[in-house]
Each structure stands twice: as structure tokens, then as C-alpha cells.
Amino acid sequence: MREARKQKTLGTLVVLLLMSVAIPVISADPPPGSPEVTNTICDDIPGTGFPYPDATICDDWDWTDDETPGSNWVESEYAIEMNSLTEFTLDMEFAIHEFNRTAIGLDSVDLGSNSTLSDGMPADYIRNYFPLPTDPTDPSGPTVKDTLLTEFGNVVETALTAAFGSSTGISVEYRQSIDVAGAPITCTDDPEQDSADEDSALPEDAYNPPICMRVVLTVQSDSSNYGLGAGQEDNERLARGLLTMGTKIDTNFTLVAEQGHLVSYDLTPPPYANFEVLDAIGVEVQRFENLFEYNAGLWVLDNRDATDGDGAEEIESEIRVSRRETTTKTVQLGSDDEAMSIEIEIDASDDSAAVATLSLSVNHLDASMLSTWGIQPFDSGIDMPWITSDGIRMLQENGYVDMNDLVDMVPVDDFANSFTSMMETPVTFSEVIFSPPDMTSGLDFTHIPEVTCAELSPTGFCVEGQYAMNGTYPIRLETTSSEMNLDVIDIATRLLDVTDTNGDPLDISFIEDQDLALLMNVLSVEKEVDPDMIGDFIPETLPPADITIRLLLPDWIRSTSDSPEMIELVYVNEGSEAEEVGITGPNPWPWEHALCYETTDCTDASEDVFCLSTWRTCIRSEVDLDLSSLSIKEFSGEVEMDLEASVRVHIHRIGLPESLDDDVPYVSVESIPSDLIRHVIALGDEREGGLLTGLVDTPILPLGDVDHYLEVSDQGFQNLSIALTQ
């Protein structure tokens, strides 16, 4: 992972130093006794004594009209609109009451009284000399009015370029009115309408009305000011993505008001952002754009009372940048939102070479998990409470994370140990890889314009629309086990929590698969299972997750669910519900048919029917009698005979008693056909005590008033035939 970039400050907003020389306050001559203007300073070309043909009336200079004790007096409004993270449009308006006389070639102007060359040039006198060439030796050169615009624009461009970066498209113009900190200021650049003797509505004040101008320029800034690192290809989308994901970015900057300046800073966030002012000086200003509310920041610095030598006033301001709520909403995640899910698919369709695939779907990771895993793409100043799957793709695209770090954090060994413990089968897992992308997931998943993202050209992450920067389309990682020789029935009985008469897991490994296939065709095992039993499968190094275990079955065993080819069990972290899970054979035996002596298409209505279709048990007996001699005694009335009899019992099917449902409620055996009985008897002969010994309680068959305990073996069925003939 690349080193996180250190956050730099947003930059220093520099208030333009419009006056180049500062001197202590000097007392001027007292105001003239007459309200009429008495001075003739503006009648001459400065420093020559020659009449000035464009002369206008200039109000008498009076030091008491100067509202600043120093040599500068400028009131300005800086409207800074962030078009994007790195592009600013600065719209600045200035009310100039005094200006640097040297910059506009007016050093020779003597204001009279006790003024000195260190005094700023009042607005009335500057306007008077607007038509005058700045350079007396170049009559066709720029005028004072032109030079004022040029000098002001150059100073602004130089200062702001130093603060923010390169600038383009500077525009400078005079204005007739401006607003500073919400207060309107009337201005003029007409030298014939600025004196008390020219306009009776005006007081005699050489500093008023001020000269106002507007400077507009575009500045390119560096994204490293936000701790995002310089030189990234698309930090604008990165910032939008971070904010949409719920990240908040804190940035600080220095506000400056030079001596004699009143400065209002109005900072508007980009169209997708919102500001929260964190310092004690600024205030949040509520505004609307396209009917959506957002907050801008406003700071007012008044340094007009500063005297020469006091220097500039500086404050450290701080803002918090968050996502503006529009049709695209900021991602909000709670404890109910799925962070991660785990799927374990055990492909036992060939149980002699079974393979388990472990898949992790990452929807989001919270900050504590990122810290635990040591994934910290940014330093201080960026509060990222979580990172979503879109966020992971975003940071990967921009080079902020090494995805190998994420892979290395997957506890493969812990999973292998948990799997071995659960299945009692030693297993190892391969190296974790990212799953190939599909239409709904993957590290290299790409959003579909106007389908999964409102952007026209989205990438692996989306910053606009319903699914912007959330975890709808997860990252998937997977690892595959080595081949295993699994006992599918054993795994199924463990999942179903089926036990023998001793309470131990049911062990029927002594029955071969082909025999089990026949047995499963006449029975089903269904049980309500609590999925919480698999919750311990999650290693402690992973966040709480839902787990799905999917066992793909060989073709000789089927599930009783809607997907007969597999058993599926789902554990929900926030609380699982019990699930009905069951297994049976691939071809369940249809016992519900009538049996006849001779009729081929036998039905319950056939004349020679001996077993109805509703009888689960069908046992037919035949008795043969052999009368070899018969003697009747006439006088006594006695009869003597020699009689031999043989009884044959034909067992076509046997329905187990309903009491078995009470003893083993999760096993359903409605009727066992004669073919399978013979097979079961053969299996039982291979096990002392019969087939069911130790597995379940001995079945009890009610024969009249007597209960017969059935041992499933050849001897057991012989005992049953004897009991039936008694």
C-alpha cells in the first residue's frame, strides 16, 4: 500500500496588500472654515506646475475623514466558489478609499497641510488623474485608470496564485456598487461626480465615495490540500466518492486581513459538498441550489484599527467537508446492514473427491476492522467511518491500497481449522484470490450507466444515483480446499444433528453407498435445525457475518427441499430462524398401490384384491392341510385323524408402527417393500443384534395383545414369522 499522503492545509487566503509603505498617523491642517472646496491641488499636473486640462474638483483632504489610523483603507469581499475540489472561481470586490500612490505614478501629488509622501492617495484625487498618463515621458502610455486596473489585477493574480496554484481567465473591471459582509457600498469611477461641489448629496470627503472594482479569476489548486495526494489522475471523483461514502474531510486554512483592511470571506463548497464551520470565528450560511439545502462558510476580519507596524491579522479557520444531500444520498450504515457474508459450498457430488469452496462477499468494513487489519489509506483529517465495496474499488483504482493487503487479512488457516472441526475431516485451503467479476460483484466489477449508476461513464465505483458508493455490489474473495473423501451421510447427520441411542452422532459408515441409496428410497430424515450451530465458524479476525453452507449431494441421495440436489443451511448474524432440513433417496418407493392374486391392473375394487392401497402393511399367509387318515368310532362318537399343516407367510410390505414417529420423530418410514426387506435382512445379518442396534431403539410391532420386538436380521424375521403364526 502506498504511503498515505500527509494532509496539507487548504492554503492561505491572502488579503492583497494594496499599500506598499506605512507611516505613523500625522496630524493634518484643521478643516477649512467654508463648506466649499478651497484647494486647487487637482488643477495642476503633479510635479510640473502646469495646468491639468482634465481637472475636476477634489474635496479638501482632511485627516479626520480617514477611518484607519494607518496608511491603508480597503474594504473587500472574497466570494470563493469551489467548482470542484481543485478549481476555484474567485469573485472579489474591493472598495478602495486609499491606494499606493507610487504604483499609479502620483508620488508628486501634495495633499497639503501636514501630509507626507507616506500618506495613501485618497479616492477623489485618484479619480481626478484617471486620464493622466502614468509615465509623464510616455503621453500615449497607460493612464492612471488603466494602470490601477492592471496593477490591481497583477497583485491579485500573483497573491492568489501563490496561495492556491496556477490561475487563468483573470478579469478586472470598475464597479458602481458592491456588498461587503452584507453591507452595500456605493462607488464611482466618474471624477466629475465625486465631490461635494459636484454633487450636493455628497459630503466633503476625499476618501468617499470609494473606487470599486471587481476581479474574477479561476485558480487551480492541489488536491494534496485535502490529504488526497498530489498527482492522482482523478482526485475529483475520488473526493466525491469519499464524501458520498460517508467520509468527512477536515481542512484548515489561514485567513489574513492586512493592516487597514476589512475583509469578508465567503466560501461556497462544490456542488456535491457541504461545509460545517469548526472554528469560533466563522459562521455557517444556509443556502439552496436546485431546491437542495447546503451550508457555505462566512468569515469577517476587520483590521482597520491597526496602526503602522501592527502587521496583518491572521486567524486559523477550520471546516469539515461532507456530502451534500441531493438526489444522491450519503451512505448511512447501521448494525443491521450486512458487512460481510460467507458461503461454503461443499461439492460432494463425487464424495470420494469432494471439494469445498469458501467465498467471502465484502459489502463494507467499518473503521475498527480497517484499523485491525492495518489498512489506513489516509492520515489525520479524513474521517472514514467505513469503506464499502465501491470504496474498495475506488481506492484500488486510485492506487491508495494494495489489494494484497486485503487478501493477506483473510484468515485462511482459521477457516481450515474451523472446517476441520466442523466436518471432522482434515483440509487445507489454497491461496485466497479475488473472484472473477460478474453482473453483481467482483473487484473488477464495472457499473452499468443508467442501470447501476446515474453517471454516464462510471467505473468500478459510482458517485451518483441510488447505488452510489454503497455495498450493493460486493467484493468477492474465494479459496478452494484440497480434495477430500467425505462421508456425505455423516456430514448430513451432523448438519441435522442426528444422534444414536447414546446421544453420539449417528454413525452408519458400515453401510455401503449403494445400500444406503436403496434404504433412502423408503425413508426420509427431516429435522428442524438451528443455524446458530454454525456461527462459531467465523474467525475472530473477521466482522460478524451471515454464513451459508451448501452441500451438493451425490446422485444417490436427495434433499427434501425445493432444490433436491443440495442441502442448504443459512446462519444470520442478527438472529437465525430454525430451518426444516431433510434427506431422502433419489427414487422414493410408491407403496400406495393395491395387490391382487391374479389381476394385473389391480385396484382396491378388484375382486381378487388382498391388500388395499391404503394399507401400509401387507402380509398374506397360506395354510396347507394334509389329511392322511380319518377314523370315526361308532359307539363312542370319537373322531381320530392324522393331520399335517404348513403355513407360509408372504410379506409384501411392512409399515412401521406410528409409535416409531414418537421415538424418532425426524425419521419417516411409511412402508418397506419386500425386496428391500430382503436387502435389509442381509445387512442386519452382518451386524450383531441386527441392523438398527445402537442406532435407534428396537422397533415394536403390536401383534394382537402382544408387542413384538423386531430385530432387523434374518433371525429377527424368522422370530416375527413364528409370532405371526401363534
Q: What is the DSSP letter of 190?
A: -
Higher pLDDT, 273 or 572: 273
CA distance 677 to 699: 14
Q: What is the identity of the amino acid at 43?
A: D
% of the chain exceeding 90 in pLDDT: 31
Instruction: List pLDDT tens digits, range 151-167.
Output: 777 767 665 665 566 67
Number of H helices, E strands in the chain: 12, 35
Q: Does pLDDT of 222 surpass 70?
A: no
Q: What is the identity of the amino acid at 15?
A: V
Question: What confidence category does residue 26 fall into, taking pLDDT thresholds of 50, 70 and 90?
Answer: very low
Q: Which of 86-90, 168-172, 523-527 has the highest mean pLDDT?
A: 86-90
Q: Which of 97, 131, 366 is nearest to 247 (CA)?
A: 366
CA distance 78 to 15: 9
Burial category of 688 from C-beta neighbours within 10 Å (exposed 0-12, middle 13-18, buried 19 and up): exposed
Task: Please provide residue 685's backbone torsions phi and psi, each rounded to the nearest 5 degrees.
Answer: -65, -20
Three-state secondary structure string covering 537-580: HCCCCCCCCEEEEEEECCCCCEECCCCCCEEEEEECCCCCCCEE
Instruction: List pLDDT tens digits, range 37-57.
Output: 788 889 998 888 889 999 999
Helix (H) or strand (E) holding 128: helix 123-128
Higher pLDDT, 530 or 344: 344
Between the two ends of the chain, the Cα-to-Cα distance in Å is 86
Q: Which of 437, 432, 431, 365 is nearest to 401 (CA)?
A: 365
The predicted pLDDT at position 93 comes to 93
Q: Does pLDDT of 464 surpass 90?
A: yes
- Using DSSP's 3-state secondary structure scheme, residue 394 falls into helix
Q: Does pLDDT of 637 surpass 60?
A: no
Higher pLDDT, 333 or 579: 333
Q: Which of 316, 339, 344 is nearest to 389 (CA)?
A: 339
Q: What is the identity of the amino acid at 124?
A: D
Q: What is the mean pLDDT of residues 498-515?
A: 69
Question: What confidence category does residue 362 fall into, taking pLDDT thresholds of 50, 70 and 90?
Answer: very high
Q: Which of 34, 80, 82 is nearest to 59 (CA)?
A: 34
Radius of gyration of the chain (CA): 48
Q: What is the mean pLDDT of residues 117-132?
A: 90
CA distance 250 to 9: 9
The predicted pLDDT at position 27 comes to 32
User: Are residues 696 and 664 in contact, defined by beta-carbon separation less than 8 angstroms?
Assistant: yes
Q: What is the mean pLDDT of residues 259-263?
A: 87
- Using DSSP's 3-state secondary structure scheme, residue 157 falls into helix
User: Are residues 709 and 698 in contact, defined by beta-carbon separation less than 8 angstroms?
Assistant: yes
Whole-model pTM: value is 0.74
Helix (H) or strand (E) holding 423: helix 412-423
Q: What is the mean pLDDT of the chain?
A: 81
Q: What is the mean pLDDT of residues 560-580?
A: 84
CA distance 336 to 345: 25
- Expressed in percent and rounded to 5, the helix, strand and coil fractions of the chain are 20, 30, 50
Q: What is the mean pLDDT of residues 675-699?
A: 74
Nine-digit cell string for 67: 477611518
Q: Does pLDDT of 413 surpass 50?
A: yes
Q: Does pLDDT of 580 surpass 90?
A: no
**C-alpha count within 13 angstroms, C-beta hemisphere, residue 68:** 29
Residue carrying the nine cell digits 483590521: 303
User: Are residues 319 and 250 in contact, defined by beta-carbon separation less than 8 angstroms?
Assistant: yes
The predicted pLDDT at position 158 comes to 61
Q: Does pLDDT of 98 surpass 60?
A: yes
Q: Which of 135, 512, 122 is nearest to 351 (CA)?
A: 512
CA distance 207 to 71: 12
C-alpha dihedral sign at 574, 577, 578, 582: negative
Q: What is the DSSP letter of 484?
A: B
Question: What confidence category does residue 370 fall into, taking pLDDT thresholds of 50, 70 and 90?
Answer: confident
Instruction: List pLDDT tens digits, range 594-629.
Output: 999 999 999 999 999 999 999 988 888 777 666 665
The predicted pLDDT at position 683 comes to 78
Q: Does pLDDT of 102 surpass 60?
A: yes
User: Are residues 328 and 462 in contact, defined by beta-carbon separation less than 8 angstroms?
Assistant: no
Q: Which range (49-58, 105-114, 151-160, 457-466) has the least confidence?
A: 151-160
Inter-CA distances, 38 with 31, 61, 174, 191, 204, Å? 10, 10, 29, 17, 11
C-alpha dihedral sign at 255, 258, 264, 267: negative
Q: Which of 274-278, 524-528, 683-687, 690-694 has the highest mean pLDDT?
A: 274-278
Question: Pairing mode, if any, of strands 524-529 and 667-668?
Answer: antiparallel
Nine-digit cell string for 373: 487489519
Higher pLDDT, 593 or 418: 593
